[in-house]
Structure 1
Amino acid sequence: MPRIAVDHDYCQAHGRCYARFPELFDADDEGRAVLLGGGAVPENVDPEEIVAVCPESAITLV
């Protein structure tokens, strides 16, 4: 099963990840992405779609 990671140095708190995938992301107090569920990608979600939602390329597959 693929996993995702967030590089907080690149995250600019656009909020697209948690707006599009609320089951995978939440926001911290500054609006930056926080992974839920340890970064596991559900079977019904295309991992490339998750990566593509971030305009700063802060989300990667690991």
Structure 2
Amino acid sequence: MSEPNAVEQYETMLAELQAVVERLEHGELSLAEALRLYERGAELAAACQQLLDTAELRVRQLDET
């Protein structure tokens, strides 16, 4: 199986982030579980932002050529 490309990585992480947010919004979690999910969500959000920043940089570089 080949390594996922940036678009696939982004879509996978975004789907996981959406699931994390839904679980947090639904509630009924222990404080420990809520903190764990919050931390995971923060990691996913940062990773998604990094992929978007990289894509934006590539687009800007292409526009300059």
Tell me the TM-score range normalised by the shorter chain: under 0.3
**TM-score, structure 2 normalization:** 0.26
Question: Which structure has the bigger radius of gyration?
Answer: 2
* TM-score normalised by L of structure 1: 0.27
Higher helix share: 2
Structure with bigger RCO (C-alpha 8 Å, 6+ apart): 1
Q: Which has the higher strand share?
A: 1
